[in-house]
């Protein structure tokens, strides 16, 4: 892809050509103008891996740990390395632009995309995201920081107005974006679906041209979220450069007409086009051929990097009586629904087909020496929808998954159809929006999915169907589920799929059953045409599992646990619960999971819990278990990373990037999460996360920044110097234990007493991670710009205010200050000043 002279090319373009550059041509590509040497750029999701251009049957990819896991590393150098790996993955997929990272604020544990974001704290989010962006863009691939701004819930996300006080907007929600612009010069920023204080972000001139470009000096491209453009003239004039995806809804001929009538002036049009051309110029450095074939980088080096990043995100939350690390030669029992399933990503834009995925059961089993595979039982179900059937079936030819045969006509007893395509599908959760076949020339088409199921039990098997379109499920030719007529809209597939319709079949161990699903594309659905509009080809999810009696299964788990020397419970959520499109209803674990954990802990005192969730869950049993590991969604290497930490082959070093409240009603956004009458009031103002819990003296389950180690650390010799606009904090860190480990130096700043506004007790302003051998000491330095260390937003002056006075610096290993674990120093700001910009 050749470099271009932006101004020379811009001068040659006609108005229709300029207009054509300001919207996508399809789901992932921009317009090419070969006569002017302007190539088509390819975009790709997403925040934790590069999916490529296919939702359905795409090229497998490296799945990185989720956003909260990345932030839990508190390691910007490692995140830069991870970002560079993301860039290389994008190059392999022929993608010029990555749609990530996500840095919205986790104001509530229930946010559907909370797992995708980094932190409740704007400084951790900003510094972490800046590190990722620097890594990505070191390869020439450009990053897209999203979703600007206050897109912190999924409820009514395309319609809701986020009502945010100016101070909270500046100090909490916009600050991560400000830091990324300051430190990493991102190629793109994506606008949020929602509005802020009455105006949709994609047409909010105050935010786009005023704050982002005017104050911060952002030079890159502003694109809409997918179908997040709501106007023609307003959005262009406000500063939205690119409408995505294509073909355009609000640009194209509409925009051309408005330019010709001076509703959009020529110089405004040129500025929007200039941003697109500048992005093309930036992307040229990656050397990606236009329309490149998609490939992968499934190498040992990729696996090693993914494992390292996943390990550093694992947080050891509790470890009583040396329960962890586990012993490799002890009899071990593994319990839980997350054990034999690799729960490696959340739902929505973060989902992708991984090169491979290691389950916790396999990771733990590989560590155990001189003994048979550990005993296992599910213990309790926690799925929202039934587990995917394709991972349990084989095709008639013996391959894992189900056979898909595509047709141009519907099934009929009197017709002898010939398939126009035959594929093998392992993951039976399918976005068929981008499925194509040259023989299928209309939006109405059909498919049959066939798989062989051989249960290892005698009992009842339950099947489930979710569809955007129509579907029927048969077992041995008997109709079990009809999801084709009386459909009910649900939340799956971005709220375009039906609820999960279910049916049961009695089965016998060892017998083979033929499962057949007859599918019709979105056009065949009796539901309103929103399904067809958003997901042309349709969507299908086929699930199934054994029906269990909860109390019988708990009793079985208890019996197994009583016979073991150590027990690991693999619990948590999955991509059905934490996903783009909807928020969680509550903080509790699903089903009888809490009851199971309590019962097993009573049966075996050496019980530890591995929790997989992207955001906090309630833990009423926490006092009953010896150990707790928060493992998030860890990507391809999920199981290995968990096992590395459980057995001490890698020392735990992750820190919580968000506070874990004891119960949902403790959360400051408890009363103000969902949309009401088209708006969500950010009533907690600046009091998000630990800022609220500390100010209100509200006890939490685990504080922000918390994380244990298998060794111990000490801080000493704190020095704080403020000079030439910087606060330099130096402290000596000593590994006071017997094994190598990593510690995070967290630097908090507390304001002077008696200022004119209420301010948090203290706020994170910087951090650094250091690795030390046993008994080793090292001096660690953290530098912070003075104005960022001390300022609050002055709503009268509409500027940041750095108020004169003496500020306290606290160096600690978490936001909770414990005796002997925190050092304090001070610095002074001699004269009050106000500022804007970065």
Domains detected in the chain: 6-286 (3.20.20.300), 383-546 (2.60.120.260), 713-835 (2.60.40.10)
The stretch 60-74 carries a mean pLDDT of 98
List the beta bridge partners of residue 735.
Answer: 713
| Interatomic CA distance for residues 204 and 129, integer angstroms | 24
* Pairing relationship of beta strands 741-750 and 43-45 according to DSSP bridges: unpaired
pLDDT of residue 529: 63
pLDDT of residue 528: 77
| Interatomic CA distance for residues 552 and 599, integer angstroms | 12
Burial class (CB in 10 A: 0-12, 13-18, 19+), 293: exposed
The residue to which tokens 């959520």 are assigned: 573
Q: What is the pLDDT of residues 243-265, one digit of tens each?
A: 999 999 999 999 999 999 999 99
Instruction: Provide CB contacts within 8 A for 267, sequence distance 6+.
Output: none
Instruction: Provide CB contacts within 8 A for 577, sequence distance 6+.
Output: 384, 584, 590
Total count of residues recorded for the chain = 838
Q: What is the pLDDT of residues 737-754, one digit of tens each?
A: 999 999 999 999 999 988
Whether 1 shows a pLDDT value over 70: the answer reads no
The least confident of 120-124, 234-238, 349-353, 810-814 is: 349-353
Instruction: Provide CB contacts within 8 A for 266, sequence distance 6+.
Output: 259
Band the pLDDT of 184: cuts 50, 70, 90.
very high
User: For residue 695, what is the DSSP state?
Assistant: H
- In this structure, what token pair is assigned to residue 694? 């500390």
Radius of gyration of the chain (CA): 27
User: For residue 284, what is the DSSP state?
Assistant: G
The residue to which tokens 């897209």 are assigned: 144
How far, in Å, are 426, 573, 737 from residue 501 at the CA level?
Answer: 21, 21, 55
Average pLDDT, the chain: 96
Whether 530 shows a pLDDT value over 60: the answer reads no
pLDDT of residue 414: 73
| Interatomic CA distance for residues 335 and 274, integer angstroms | 57
Whether 415 shows a pLDDT value over 90: the answer reads no
Q: What is the pLDDT of residues 447-505, one digit of tens each?
A: 999 999 999 999 999 999 999 999 999 999 999 999 999 999 998 998 899 999 999 99
- Within its chain, how far is the Cα of 715 from the centroid? 34
| Interatomic CA distance for residues 76 and 89, integer angstroms | 20
Give this prediction's pTM.
Answer: 0.97
| Interatomic CA distance for residues 378 and 384, integer angstroms | 15
The stretch 108-117 carries a mean pLDDT of 98
Band the pLDDT of 46: cuts 50, 70, 90.
confident
Active site residues: 225
Handedness of CA 397, 401, 406, 412 (dihedral sign): positive
pLDDT of residue 548: 96
The stretch 55-69 carries a mean pLDDT of 95
pLDDT of residue 750: 98
Q: What angle do CA 125, 131, 132 make, to 5 degrees?
A: 90
The stretch 512-529 carries a mean pLDDT of 92
The stretch 356-378 carries a mean pLDDT of 95
Q: What angle do CA 611, 617, 619 make, to 5 degrees?
A: 80
Residue among 665, 669, 674, 670 at smallest CA distance from 700: 665
Instruction: Provide CB contacts within 8 A for 140, sequence distance 6+.
Output: 87, 91, 282, 283, 284, 285, 286, 287, 288
| Interatomic CA distance for residues 716 and 714, integer angstroms | 7
Instruction: Provide CB contacts within 8 A for 598, sequence distance 6+.
Output: 620, 621, 624
Work out the widest C-alpha separation in the chain, in whole angstroms. Answer: 89
Whether 517 shows a pLDDT value over 60: the answer reads yes
Residue 160: phi and psi, rounded to 5, are -80, 145
Band the pLDDT of 403: cuts 50, 70, 90.
very high
The residue to which tokens 């009953």 are assigned: 624
List the beta bridge partners of residue 394.
Answer: 400, 452
- In this structure, what token pair is assigned to residue 416? 């002898």
| Interatomic CA distance for residues 452 and 805, integer angstroms | 73
Whether 532 shows a pLDDT value over 70: the answer reads no
| Interatomic CA distance for residues 287 and 147, integer angstroms | 27
Q: What is the pLDDT of residues 631-644, one digit of tens each?
A: 999 999 999 999 99
Residue 174: phi and psi, rounded to 5, are -90, -25
Whether 535 shows a pLDDT value over 70: the answer reads no
SS3 content of the chain, % helix, strand, coil (to 5): 25, 25, 45
Residue among 63, 49, 193, 70 at smallest CA distance from 658: 70
pLDDT of residue 367: 97
Whether 531 shows a pLDDT value over 60: the answer reads no
Residue among 827, 824, 834 at smallest CA distance from 803: 834
pLDDT of residue 534: 56
Say if CB 150 and CB 196 are below 8 A apart.
yes
């Amino acid at each position: 892809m050749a470099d271009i002279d932006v101004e020379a090319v811009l001068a040659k373009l006609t108005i229709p050509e300029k207009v054509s550059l300001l919207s996508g041509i399809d789901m992932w590509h921009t317009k090419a103008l070969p006569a002017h040497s302007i190539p088509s750029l390819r975009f790709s999701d997403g925040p934790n891996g590069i999916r490529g251009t296919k939702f359905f049957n795409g090229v497998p990819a490296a799945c990185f740990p989720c956003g909260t896991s990345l932030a839990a590393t508190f390691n910007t150098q490692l995140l830069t390395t991870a970002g560079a790996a993301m860039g290389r993955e994008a190059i392999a997929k022929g993608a010029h632009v990555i749609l990530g990272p996500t840095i919205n604020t986790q104001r509530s544990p229930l946010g559907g995309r909370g797992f995708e974001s980094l932190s409740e704290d704007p400084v951790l989010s900003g510094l972490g995201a800046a590190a990722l962006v620097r890594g990505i863009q070191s390869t020439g691939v450009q990053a897209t920081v999203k979703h600007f701004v206050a897109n912190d819930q999924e409820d009514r996300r395309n319609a809701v107005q986020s009502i945010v006080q100016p101070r909270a907007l500046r100090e909490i929600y916009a600050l991560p974006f400000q830091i990324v612009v300051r430190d990493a010069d991102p190629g793109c920023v994506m606008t949020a679906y929602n509005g802020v204080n009455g105006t949709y972000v994609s047409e909010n001139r105050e935010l786009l041209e005023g704050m982002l470009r005017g104050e911060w000096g952002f030079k890159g491209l502003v694109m809409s979220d997918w179908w997040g453009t709501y106007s023609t003239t307003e959005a262009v004039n406000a500063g939205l450069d690119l409408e995505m995806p294509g073909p355009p809804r609000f640009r194209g001929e509409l925009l051309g007409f408005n330019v010709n009538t001076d509703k959009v002036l020529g110089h405004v049009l040129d500025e929007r086009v200039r941003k697109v051309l500048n992005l093309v110029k930036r992307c040229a450095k990656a050397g990606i051929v236009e329309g490149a074939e998609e490939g992968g980088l499934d190498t040992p080096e990729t696996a090693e990097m993914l494992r390292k990043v996943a390990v550093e995100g694992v947080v050891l939350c509790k470890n009583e009586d040396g329960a962890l690390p586990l012993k490799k030669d002890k009899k071990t029992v593994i319990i839980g629904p997350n054990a034999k399933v690799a729960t490696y990503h959340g739902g929505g834009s973060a989902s992708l087909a991984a090169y491979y995925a290691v389950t916790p059961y396999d990771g733990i089993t590989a560590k155990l020496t001189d003994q048979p595979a550990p005993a296992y039982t599910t213990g309790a179900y926690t799925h929202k929808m039934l587990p995917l059937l394709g991972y349990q079936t084989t095709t008639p030819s013996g391959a894992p998954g189900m056979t898909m045969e595509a047709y141009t006509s519907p099934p009929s007893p009197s017709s002898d159809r010939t398939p126009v395509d035959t594929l093998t599908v392992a993951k039976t959760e399918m976005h068929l929006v981008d499925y194509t076949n040259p023989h299928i020339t209309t939006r109405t088409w059909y498919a049959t999915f066939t798989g062989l199921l051989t249960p290892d039990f005698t009992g009842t098997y339950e099947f489930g169907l979710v569809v955007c379109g129509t579907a029927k499920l048969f077992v041995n030719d008997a109709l079990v589920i009809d999801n084709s007529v009386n459909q009910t809209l649900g939340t799956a597939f971005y709220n375009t799929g039906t609820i999960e319709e279910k049916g049961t079949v009695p089965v016998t161990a060892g017998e083979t059953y033929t499962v057949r699903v007859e599918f019709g594309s979105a056009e065949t659905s009796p539901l309103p045409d929103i399904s067809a509009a958003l997901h042309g080809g349709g969507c299908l999810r086929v699930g199934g599992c054994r029906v269990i009696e909860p109390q019988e299964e708990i009793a079985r788990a208890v019996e197994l646990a009583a016979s073991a020397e150590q027990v690991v419970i693999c619990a948590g959520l999955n991509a059905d619960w934490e996903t783009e499109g909807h928020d969680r209803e509550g903080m509790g674990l699903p089903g009888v999971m809490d009851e199971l954990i309590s019962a097993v802990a009573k049966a075996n005192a050496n019980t530890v819990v591995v929790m997989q969730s992207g955001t906090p869950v309630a833990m009423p049993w926490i006092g009953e278990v010896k150990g707790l590991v928060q493992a998030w969604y860890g990507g391809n290497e999920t199981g290995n990373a968990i096992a590395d930490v459980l057995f001490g082959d890698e020392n735990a070093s992750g820190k919580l990037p968000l506070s874990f409240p004891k119960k949902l009603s403790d959360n400051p956004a408890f009363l103000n999460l969902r949309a009401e009458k088209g708006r969500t009031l950010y009533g907690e103002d600046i009091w998000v996360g630990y800022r609220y819990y500390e100010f209100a003296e509200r006890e939490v389950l685990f504080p922000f920044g918390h994380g244990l180690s298998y060794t111990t650390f000490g801080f000493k010799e704190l020095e704080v110097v403020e000079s030439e606009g910087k606060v330099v904090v130096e402290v000596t860190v000593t590994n006071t234990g017997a094994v190598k480990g990593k510690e995070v130096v967290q630097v908090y700043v507390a304001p002077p007493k008696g200022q004119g506004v209420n301010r948090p007790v203290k706020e994170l302003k910087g951090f650094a991670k250091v690795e030390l051998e046993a008994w080793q000491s090292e001096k660690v330095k953290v530098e912070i710009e003075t104005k960022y260390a001390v300022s609050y937003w002055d709503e009268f002056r509409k500027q940041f205010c750095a108020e004169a006075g003496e500020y306290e610096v606290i160096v600690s290993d978490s936001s909770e200050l414990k005796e002997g674990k925190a050092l304090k120093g001070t610095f002074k700001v001699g004269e009050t000043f106000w500022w804007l910009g970065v």
